[in-house]
Amino acid sequence: MNKFNKTPTADEEVGKQLTFESFVSPPVIITGTSPGGLGAETARAICREHPALVILAGRDVSRIRRTQSLITDETPEVNVRILEIDLGSQRSVRKAAREINETREKIDVLINNAGVMASNPFSTSPEGIETQFATNHIGHFLFTNLIMPKLLFPGPGGGGRVINVSSSGHKRGPVRFDDHNFQNGIVYDKWKAYGQSKTANMLFSVSLAEKLGPKGLRSYSLYPGRILTNIIQNITVDEMKRFGWLDENGNMIQDPILKWKTLASGPSTQIVAAFDPSIEDYNGSYLDDCQIADDHAEPYALDKDGAERLWALSEKLVGQTFNY
């Protein structure tokens, strides 16, 4: 289906494999691009192919500048811009969307990568939404829809791609449509909340494919693999031992079943989702290990009725409707 080895092993693998015929200098936005994270490595991999423009989006501008410097040191000819956005704040999201809509470029690829995991204790966004749901899904839902005119354009194909980075963690829980805030924290479980947000990422792609596929938009969700990045900062050592990631001495367990990936090989599935022309007929699908993997997903995470319910809930939480 694609040109990637199923499980890239070398740190250089992604750069060597970035040779899709369809890669014609598309402008790309990637959220969550601080150094040491998957978004930053994805940006570096894309920039090796000299796209016309890459926009690094994130909350901490000083950290994103470090990513920008790493990229421009490697590929100085690439146009790399910074977009300040806090996905956990709808006010910040709206401001960032206005900035994008005021530019002249269309956007061929939006990679919704930013996220938080296992936030504890319970906390909420300025709008009163549980932090993981607000940051991982609601912020991306609002941003994507606000810049949709940039993602839909006339001509062959008619639209770009929206990639929602999910996780196998979606198996930890469906969207709690009637209680997304866990009774305002009374029954909060950080892992169920994470699962809810990652399920929402997948359902969002299902909705985008259903609503905007006829207009040329493609959207996919994906599991990037098990990678030690800065997103695990809220996971305790005891939890990592319980998950079977670390042995009793705190050393990483090199079990083939765990399929650990290096940070440099981690972007491979994002790259396939964003650029591989062979997956166009699988709009709304879920990818794992660079392959279409709907059979790896929980049924509730790809359910069209659930996707429609989530869309309605998301519109309610942002106070705006998006009709296509």
Q: Over the stretch 249-305, which tens digit does the pLDDT of each residue have?
A: 777 777 666 676 778 888 999 999 999 999 999 999 999 999 999 999 999 999 999
Instruction: State the average pLDDT over residues 17-37.
Output: 74
Summarised one tens digit per residue, pLDDT across range 79-110 is 999 999 999 999 999 999 999 999 999 999 99
Of the listed ranges 106-110, 157-161, 210-214, 257-261, the one predicted with least confidence: 257-261
- pLDDT of 232 reads 62
| Residues comprising the chain, all counted | 324
Q: For 103, phi and psi rounded to 5 degrees? A: -85, 165
Q: Any bridge partners for residue 321, and if so which? A: none
pLDDT, one tens digit per residue, over 55-67 is 999 999 999 999 9
Q: What integer pLDDT is reported at residue 240 of this predicted model?
A: 67
Q: Compute CA 252 distance to the chain's CA centroid, rounded to the nearest angstrom.
A: 26
Q: Looking at the predicted structure, is the pLDDT value of residue 15 above 90? A: no
pLDDT for the residue numbered 103: 95
Q: Are 31 and 85 in contact (CB under 8 A)?
A: yes
Task: Output the CA–CA distances (angstroms, integers) from residue 7 to 21, 25, 49, 261, 291, in the order listed.
Answer: 21, 26, 21, 8, 10
- pLDDT of residue 49 exceeding 70: yes
SS3 letters across 103-169:
CCCCCCEEEECCCCCCCCCCCECCCCCEHHHHHHHHHHHHHHHHCHHHHECCCCCCECEEEEECCHH
Q: Quick one: pLDDT at residue 229?
A: 63
Which residues of the chain form beta strands (DSSP E)?
Answer: 28-31, 54-58, 80-84, 109-112, 161-165, 218-223, 226-227, 260-261, 286-288, 291-292
- pLDDT at position 138, please? 99
CATH number of 13-231+263-315: 3.40.50.720
* Mean pLDDT value across the chain: 89
State the residue for tokens 């938080």: 116
Could you tell me what percentage of the chain is helix, strand and coil, using 3-state DSSP and rounding each to the nearest 5?
A: 45, 15, 40
Which helix (H) or strand (E) is 197 found in, with range? helix 190-212
Per-residue model confidence as pLDDT tens digits over 103-149: 999 999 999 999 999 899 999 999 999 999 999 999 999 999 999 99
* CA distances from residue 176 to 43, 188, 193, 299, 300 in whole angstroms, order as listed: 33, 12, 9, 15, 11
All structural domains of the chain with their residue ranges: 13-231+263-315
Question: Annotated catalytic residue: which of 188, 194, 282, 324?
Answer: 188
223 in active site: no
